[in-house]
Structure 1
Amino acid sequence: MPRPFPHRHLLGIDPLSAEDILFLLDEAEPWIDFGRQARKEDRRLAGLTQFNLFFENSTRTLFSFEVAGKRLGAQVANFHPGGSSVRKGESLIDTALTLNAMRPDVMVVRHNESGAPQQVAEVAGCPVVNGGDGTNEHPTQALLDALTMRRRKGRIEGLTVAICGDIRHSRVAGSNRKLLPKLGAEVRLVGPPALLPDDAGGAATFTDLDEGIKDADVVMMLRIQRERMEESVSGTLADFHARYGLTYARLDRAAPDALVMHPGPMNRGVEIEGALADDPDRSAILDQVENGVAVRMAVLDVLTRARRE
């Protein structure tokens, strides 16, 4: 029998032990080869209903959760607030209660308010997955990032990972800087002073990109989130690229085989040079996308096992 997972929901990284994280990564591994088959059909979630409650726009996260659920045989329904009673003033909790009354078997929640998935989990009768909440966390992104590092570098323990850019507003950084140290990696946070967090959680911080990525094994660039923090960046985007944009020349300061990552969407020519982002020998950006489907299949499978049994 598969190992039981000791958590009902996946809302953040803090509750997960290193064993829990490695278990999810191991569960995701077979789904990568599965996704490369011509026919991608598994029926273990047949008869189960998955609701994707996305209160924010999304390409990678929404589409990969939908693909993941359908490949596992689930009935997948996507909720978009623009065509719902949210436009009429319905609260998040009332929306959650309404949808919960339809008896879904798993919900994925993405919201612009930190803590929203936790609020849904408190009233839901099924497992809830955090698909990204405000500036808080994005746990499945951190899991897929860890899986990508392990597959491309052969390990996570002992790696030095420089997370660069808008740390303060990034839920991706929020989850990665919690997850990676649990697996033995050293995390550095690199960015302009206004975009670094007030509490680095023990990670080393750098305001100079060249210094921050020196000898790093992985350089993870983050999108400049203009919708969240335009007032925090002084000067033009060209100025930002000159100081904090990753280029081939800058990457020479990292380890010789340093891996480049980015959760997407990218601002090409701002936080990263386009040619570098597209270089399959140095960039794992498309690997992250592929591995994201596998991780989300594993999460959906693991969290619904108790219901299926």
Structure 2
Amino acid sequence: MMTATKVKERSLLGIKELDRTEILQLLNRTAYWDNQAEKLTPVLRSHFVANMFFENSTRTRFSFEMAEKRLGVQVLNFTAAASSVEKGESIYDTVRTLESMGIDAGVVRLKPAGVLQQLAEKVSIPLINAGDGNNEHPTQALLDLYTMSKNFGELKGLKVSIIGDIMHSRVARSNLWGLTKMGAKVQFCAPDNMKAPELAEFAPYVTMEEALKADVVMMLRVQLERHASGILQSAEEYRKQFGLTEERAAKLDKSTIIMHPAPVNRNVEIDDAVVESDKSRIFPQMANGVPVRMAVIERAIH
């Protein structure tokens, strides 16, 4: 059985708690898995991992499942919509139940921020954060860092603009912590009512025009449902002011790349033609998610 220290070292709750060396180790291991010609390398064939998704996300769950299966892991998929959590059983009880059945690690996605940290203190298996509230999404940041390093060779000195709903974005936070640790410069661009003031000391807020002068332009998904609550005026208005339109994309520097954590609201945060343009790394990002998650799962279990 793993000691509490070992469990903590093998869990991945956020990028904020990793140091530069740990991030580099994960990126190097990602490169190793990325370069394997064999799709199936069953080094973890005798291990069980539960994907516990208390918040929907088909894309992230499939990426984790693909990573697990490529490593030969026995996968248990748990989704809250069809589970006892809907009947009032707590998230903690569910994780403890699966732990007592003998899983070796858990991948957890949930809405409330901070709950995952509390869970990790109470269980004796490594936990991997697949997104918690507006707190962190560490594997997304790692795949973003890997995509950038693959493109530019290194992360140090890169200027990265993150544009969109910073306030509600766990992707923006994880990327901010990861990129600054690796020596990149981060700047934000957001409508006033989508800014996260507490992050301003770590990354300046700049105009849209200024944000386009960067090595990486990372667009965030706009939650269109926020329109109902008045946070978002309208999709058209958002596109006009903060969308990466074809016209804006044409002004980008020759070497600038475009990123997005997906799913994309086409013709809202990014124009359709720009999603498919040669500057776009949106689909390679998704592809890179699998080797990143292989590295993270391997670290949790090995």
Q: Which shows bigger deviation, 98-107 or 243-252?
A: 243-252
Deviation track 1:7-58 (CA, whole Å, cap 9, x = no partner) reads 1310011221111101100000021232xx4x51112111100000001111
Matched to 1:202, the amino acid is: F
Q: Which residue of 2 aligns with 1:119?
A: 118
Say whether the 8 Å CA contact 1:195–1:232 is kept in structure 2: no
Q: Which residue of 2 aligns with 1:221?
A: 219
User: How high is the TM-score relative to the length of structure 2?
Assistant: 0.93
Matched to 1:255, the amino acid is: D
Structure 1 runs (4+) greater than 4 angstroms displaced: 227-230
The Cα shift of 1:157 comes to 0.7
Deviation track 1:41-79 (CA, whole Å, cap 9, x = no partner) reads 112111100000001111221001101011101100110
* Within-5 A mapping of 1:1-309: 7-34=9-36, 37=37, 39-200=38-199, 201-206=201-206, 208-213=207-212, 215-227=213-225, 230-231=228-229, 233-279=231-277, 281-305=278-302
Q: Which shows bigger deviation, 65-74 or 114-123?
A: 114-123
| Distance verdict in 2 for CA 1:130–1:230, change over 3 Å | farther
Deviation track 1:139-166 (CA, whole Å, cap 9, x = no partner) reads 0100000000000122211110000001
Say whether the 8 Å CA contact 1:169–1:225 is kept in structure 2: no
The Cα shift of 1:303 comes to 1.7
CA distance in 2, matches of 1:102, 1:166: 40
Q: Which shows bigger deviation, 58-67 or 224-233?
A: 224-233
Say whether the 8 Å CA contact 1:135–1:171 is kept in structure 2: yes
| Distance verdict in 2 for CA 1:232–1:165, change over 3 Å | farther
The Cα shift of 1:227 comes to 4.3
CA distance in 2, matches of 1:167, 1:232: 16
Say whether the 8 Å CA contact 1:169–1:229 is kept in structure 2: no
User: How high is the TM-score relative to the length of structure 1?
Assistant: 0.91
The Cα shift of 1:234 comes to 4.3
Deviation track 1:199-220 (CA, whole Å, cap 9, x = no partner) reads 12420112x312222x200000
The Cα shift of 1:226 comes to 3.1
Say whether the 8 Å CA contact 1:108–1:131 is kept in structure 2: yes
Matched to 1:26, the amino acid is: N
Say whether the 8 Å CA contact 2:8–2:126 is kept in structure 1: no
Say whether the 8 Å CA contact 1:165–1:195 is kept in structure 2: yes
Say whether the 8 Å CA contact 2:147–2:285 is kept in structure 1: yes
What SS does structure 2 have at the residue aligned with 1:199?
helix
| Distance verdict in 2 for CA 1:182–1:5, change over 3 Å | farther
Deviation track 1:121-180 (CA, whole Å, cap 9, x = no partner) reads 122221100000001100010000000000012221111000000111010001001110
Say whether the 8 Å CA contact 2:30–2:292 is kept in structure 1: yes
CA distance in 1, matches of 2:108, 2:45: 21
Say whether the 8 Å CA contact 1:164–1:220 is kept in structure 2: yes
The runs of 5 or more residues in structure 2 that have no matched partner are: 1-5
CA distance in 2, matches of 1:63, 1:186: 31
CA distance in 1, matches of 2:167, 2:230: 10
Aligned length: 296
What SS does structure 2 have at the residue aligned with 1:289?
helix
CA distance in 1, matches of 2:20, 2:228: 36
CA distance in 2, matches of 1:105, 1:261: 33
What SS does structure 2 have at the residue aligned with 1:205?
coil
What SS does structure 2 have at the residue aligned with 1:110?
strand
Deviation track 1:77-96 (CA, whole Å, cap 9, x = no partner) reads 11011221112111111112
